[in-house]
Structure 1
Amino acid sequence: MYAHLPGIDVYYEDHGDPTRPGNPLVLLHGGMQTIDLSFGALLPRLAPHRRVIAVELQGHGRTADVDRGITLENQSGDVVGVLDHLGLERADVLGFSWGGYVALETALRHPGRVDRLVLAAVNTRADGYHAEIGDPAQWETSTRMPTAEEFGAMVAAYERYGLSTFEGVNAKLQPIVGAEENWTSAQLATVAAPTLVVIGDHDFVRVDHAVAMQEAIPDAALAVLPRTKHSEVVARVGILAPILEDFLGR
C-alpha cells in the first residue's frame, strides 16, 4: 500500500487488527534494507499481538528515491505523513539502525506523535561506532560487519524493485551516518517518549555510547543482546521480542 504524500509515494504495510489493544507500532528498517530484510523475523512475532505498520523510507525497497534530499527532517515528516494517512494521532515507533535515526528525529520534531520509542543499533555521534567500522582495511576481519550474503541481499533488493540505485542512495546516507554529531546530549534530554535503547554486544555501536544515550534520555532503558552483531539486533527475536513486549506493554 502507498501513502501519497507531497512529492513522494511512501510504501507501507499494515499488519494486524486495528481494534487490538495497545498502541499501533511503526517499524522503520535499516539503511539500504527493506521491510523484509530488517523485520522478516520480528514482524510475524509482533503482528499477532498488536497492529504493526512497517514503512519503507525514501530510496528503499518500494519507495522510490525522488528529487529531494534524503534528510532526517524529510523522512521523519514522511513517518508523520503515513500516520496522518492512516488517521493515527499517535503510535509507538521502533527504528533499526538508519530507521532508528529517523525514529529519534521523529520523536524530537513531532513529540506529540510518538508514545514509546525503541532505538535499535543507533548512535548519535560518529565516535559512537567502534573505530574499525570507519576503516575499510579492517572490514574483512571484523566480526561486526555484515557477511557477504547479507550485503548481497541488500544489493539484490535494489535490483528487484529497480526504483533506486544502491550506490546512489548509499552515497546520500553516508554524510549523515558519518556526521560528527547528529544530536547533542542536550537534545536527547528533550526526548519526551519513554525510550528503549537496544544494541548487540558485537554491534557497530559501542556499549559505553549506548549507556551515554540511555543516561541522556530522561526516561530510558538499555538492553544489550549477547552474541549479537549490528545486522542481527532485530533478528534475535527469541531474546528481543519478550523485551519489546514488556517495554511496549507497560
Structure 2
Amino acid sequence: MSETISTPAKPLSTRPMQIRQVDTCGTTLRVAIWPGKSKRTPLLLFNGIGASLELLAPFADALGDIETIAFDVPGTGESSLPPIPYRMWMLSMLASRVLTILGYDRIDALGVSWGGAIAQQFALQNPRRCRRLVLAATSQGFLMLPGKLSVLAKFFTPRRFNDPVFRRAVAGEIYGGKARRHPALIREFRKTSRLGYLMQQFAIIGWTSVPWLPLLRQPTLIMAGDDDPVIPLANARLMTKLIRNSRLHVFNDGHLFLLSDAAEAGRVVRDFLNLKQAA
C-alpha cells in the first residue's frame, strides 16, 4: 500500500485541493482531498456510475470548510482497472483501506446515485467509523420503484459520457429538473471506460439494502429531486421510512441537484452535519 501526492495542472475546484495516487488492493486510485478545519468530521463522497471526481468539485466547493475526500472507483476517471470484478461490499472495504492509508479515522459519508449504494453499504459495514450518512438521488437497489424504461435504457452504456452531442440531446429526458432547460449543466462530464462502466454495473446487479436499512445506526439525511426520471421520489420516501433515524429533503429539481443547485445542497448538508447529537 502506498500513496503519492500531486498538484493538478488545471484547477478542478475553487477550494484548495490535493490530488493523490493511492495504491491498494491491486489497483491505483486517484483521490482528491479538499482540506478543511481539523476539528470537524471529514466527509467522504461516493460518486455516480461512470463519473470521475471532477463532477463533484462544484458541490465540494459549496461545502466550505468541511474536509472532503473523493476518489475515482477502479476503472473510472484516472483510477486503474481492478484485478478482478468487484461487488458493493468490496468497494466498501476498499474505501476503508483508502481512509486508513490517508490517516482518517471517523468520517461522514455521502453517496450520490449509484454511489449511494456504496454509501449505504459502507455505513452498514462501518457502524463506528461512519458517523453520519447522506444519500442523494439514490435508491435501495433492485427493489426500487424504477424510472421509465426509455430513461433507464440510456444508462446501459456510457454513451452519455463519451458523446457530448448525445448527452446534450438526452439530458433533459434522463436527468429532469433544471437539465430540461439547461443541458449544459453536465458539460463537466469526462469520457469513461466501457469496461470500467461494465464493472460498475456488475457490482450492483442483485444488490439491495431493503432487508438491513432498519439496522443502520447513523443519523441519515436523504435528499431527492421531485423531477427525477432515473430514481423516482417514492424511493427516497421508502428509505426514509426504513431508516429509523432519517429525514428527507426534497429539491425542486431532477437527478443532478448536487450540480444544478450545488450551493443549496451544500447548505443543507452542512446544516445536517453540524447538528449537535451524541453519535
| TM-score category, normalised to shorter length | 0.7 to 0.9
Is the contact between residue 225 and residue 239 of structure 1 (CA under 8 Å) also seen in structure 2?
A: no
Does residue 200 (structure 1) correspond to residue 200 (structure 2)? The answer is no
**Any idea what the Cα deviations from partners look like across 1:50-87, whole Å, max 9, x if unmatched?**
21112221111121112211321121111101110122
Partner of 1:170: 197
Partner of 1:157: 191
Give the deviation of 1:131 after TM superposition. Answer: 2.8
Q: Cα 1:173–1:6, aligned 2, differ >3 Å: closer, same or farther?
A: closer
**Any idea what the Cα deviations from partners look like across 1:64-112, whole Å, max 9, x if unmatched?**
1122113211211111011101222210011111211111110111212
Does residue 96 (structure 1) correspond to residue 125 (structure 2)? The answer is no
Partner of 1:64: 80
SS at match of 1:199: strand
Gaps (5+ residues) in structure 1? 159-164
Give the deviation of 1:232 after TM superposition. Answer: 3.4
For 1:122 and 1:144, locate their aligned partners in 2 and report how far apart those are by CA, in whole Å: 18
1:73-222 alignment runs, 5 A limit: 73-126=89-142, 127-132=144-149, 133-135=151-153, 143-146=172-175, 154=189, 156-158=190-192, 165=193, 167-177=194-204, 179=206, 182-184=208-210, 186-203=211-228, 204-222=230-248
Q: Cα 1:191–1:233, aligned 2, differ >3 Å: closer, same or farther?
A: same
For 2:185 and 2:81, locate their aligned partners in 1 and report how far apart those are by CA, in whole Å: 22
Q: Cα 1:151–1:194, aligned 2, differ >3 Å: closer, same or farther?
A: same
Q: Cα 1:150–1:63, aligned 2, differ >3 Å: closer, same or farther?
A: farther
Partner of 2:48: 30
| Amino acid in the other structure paired with 2:58 | A
Q: Cα 1:83–1:73, aligned 2, differ >3 Å: closer, same or farther?
A: same
For 2:62 and 2:43, locate their aligned partners in 1 and report how far apart those are by CA, in whole Å: 13
Q: Which moved more, 1:66-75 or 1:188-197?
A: 66-75
Is the contact between residue 110 and residue 133 of structure 2 (CA under 8 Å) also seen in structure 1?
A: yes
For 2:171 and 2:61, locate their aligned partners in 1 and report how far apart those are by CA, in whole Å: 31
Is the contact between residue 199 and residue 233 of structure 1 (CA under 8 Å) also seen in structure 2?
A: no
Gaps (5+ residues) in structure 2? 1-19, 155-165
TM-score (norm 2): 0.75
For 1:70 and 1:6, locate their aligned partners in 2 and report how far apart those are by CA, in whole Å: 11
RMSD: 2.5
- The percent of aligned pairs where both chains have the same amino acid is 22
Is the contact between residue 25 and residue 94 of structure 2 (CA under 8 Å) also seen in structure 1?
A: no
1:45 is matched with which residue: 62, 72, 76?
A: 62
Partner of 2:4: none
For 2:243 and 2:47, locate their aligned partners in 1 and report how far apart those are by CA, in whole Å: 22
TM-score (norm 1): 0.83
Does residue 3 (structure 1) correspond to residue 22 (structure 2)? The answer is yes
Q: Cα 1:177–1:4, aligned 2, differ >3 Å: closer, same or farther?
A: closer
Give the deviation of 1:45 after TM superposition. Answer: 1.7
Is the contact between residue 45 and residue 241 of structure 1 (CA under 8 Å) also seen in structure 2?
A: yes
Give the deviation of 1:238 after TM superposition. Answer: 2.8
SS at match of 1:89: coil
Give the deviation of 1:152 after TM superposition. Answer: 7.6
Q: Which moved more, 1:198-207 or 1:120-129?
A: 120-129
For 1:134 and 1:91, locate their aligned partners in 2 and report how far apart those are by CA, in whole Å: 32
